[in-house]
Amino acid sequence: MKEKIKKILEKIRNWRFLYIALVIVLLFGVWILFFDNFNLVDRFQKMSKLHELRETEKYYEQENLENSTRLEELMSGKEELEKFAREQYYMKEEDEDIFLVILEEE
């Protein structure tokens, strides 16, 4: 009978240790998730922001490349520069008139 009681008490002690260990692990997990300086919530937010910034960087690099090629085309000759000025800024020579045709989309 005493042996059965000793085994039961021993199991209870083991279970108590497991509960304490589980609580400690859970507290550590909660601390890491929410309260630490490098918590996971902030990390995920910063990683998504970093992804956005890298996407905008790619966009602006592409824009820069397109503008560089356009600038090279404009600087290649007077005819190209004149064509650009007429199309974009509606510039004209003194004896010319400009008519704009605007097509309405249905």
Dump pLDDT digits (tens) for 45-68: 999 999 999 999 999 999 999 999
* DSSP 8-state secondary structure symbol assigned to residue 78: H
Residue with tokens 């108590």: 16
Please give the pLDDT value at position 5: 77
Q: What percent of the chain has pLDDT over 90?
A: 29
Please give the pLDDT value at position 32: 82
Please give the pLDDT value at position 3: 81
User: Measured on CA atoms in the order 63, 65, 66, 70, is the torsion positive or negative?
Assistant: positive
Mean pLDDT of the chain: 85
Q: Report whether pLDDT(6) > 80.
A: no
CA distance 11 to 27: 24
Domain boundaries in the chain?
Answer: 1-36, 38-94
Please give the pLDDT value at position 105: 83
Query: Left (φ > 0), alpha (ψ -120 to 50) or beta: where does 34 sit?
Result: alpha
